[in-house]
Copies of this chain bind each other. A is one copy, B any other.
Amino acid sequence: MFNNLPKKIQLTEVGPRDGFQNVKTFIPTGDKIAIIEGLIESGLTTLEITSFVSPKAIPQMADAAQICAAILGKYDGKINASALVPNLRGAQLAWDAGIREITCVVSVTAEHNKANVNRTHEESVQELVRMREALPDMNMRVDLATVFACPFVGWVKPEAVAAVTEKIAKTGIKKFVLCDTIGVATPDRVYNLTKFMKSTFPDFEFSLHLHDTRGVGMVNMMAGIMAGVDSFETSVGGLGGCPFAPGAAGNTPTEDVVNMLTDMGITSGVDLNRLLQVVALIKDNVDEPLNSHMAKAKIYDCFCPRQ
């Protein structure tokens, strides 16, 4: 059962975007940069480092360009840094800041797409087309939100996920992230949807972004691994949510994931002890309690990862 799992899992750290945009207090830019540097030094070299959104809508992300300047200036060519953008304007700002991969969010349900980006599906696809035409050299991936369930209309059928994916695929985008925006999926839903999407779109890349609102983040991730996914978005400290999805909270904590994978002999390239130092730094910067177990767990001297 657990003997045939992949030996390597790609983690994309989304804490600096999904996390920082959801904390109530603004984290000073210098502290953000120190945290991102810590994440990179711990081995997390694929990161969503910020988002280029309206500072009126999400003031926590007003320093996106400064973050990019600092991080890309120091690590350019050594890391895969992406940013989330809601529209062409954000994509252009990201390009100007040196970003070469962007994430755009399209929700599978029309209702959440309207609440999140104030667009119909057709308008979302049109915006993606405009971005691809204006920035042909920008790499693009799409976060498919509410793939399991929507806070406004309830459970979502896999066929609906495929239909929206099909529309987006016409723009040429082949990289998708299946997002459990409000964290209500359970392992069989994750396994079945992932298998379905991989077989329906065999040429596309799928990764998973699993909120841990109900304590199922880790077991859902394992279901995804069993379904053949080897790429996951996680968030240091378990920070995260969605400002436009009532009840969305708590991401799957990178440090909990790294602890589990490391003990199972699955490489993520991350040094757990160094990562835990970054978690301690985040604890100092965030008022609310972290959705992280490793942040609180005793670290024993009598263990090495495997024996």
Contacts and interface: CB of A to CB of B under 8 A. Distances in A.
A182 B150 CA distance: 37
A297 interface: yes
Contact of A187 (B2, B155, B259): B2
A74 B214 CA distance: 33
Contacts of A250: 293, 296
Given A222-B187, A222-B219, A297 B214 contact: yes
Contacts of A237: none
Interface in A145-190: 149-155, 182-184, 186-189
Contact of A212 (B182, B226, B293): B293
A155 B307 contact: yes
A246 interface: yes
Interface string A219-257: 101110011000000000000000000110110010010
Contacts of A155: 303, 307
A300 B151 contact: yes
A1 B303 contact: no
A152 B222 CA distance: 30
10 contacts: A152-B302, A154-B307, A155-B303, A155-B307, A182-B298, A183-B297, A214-B293, A222-B222, A246-B298, A249-B297
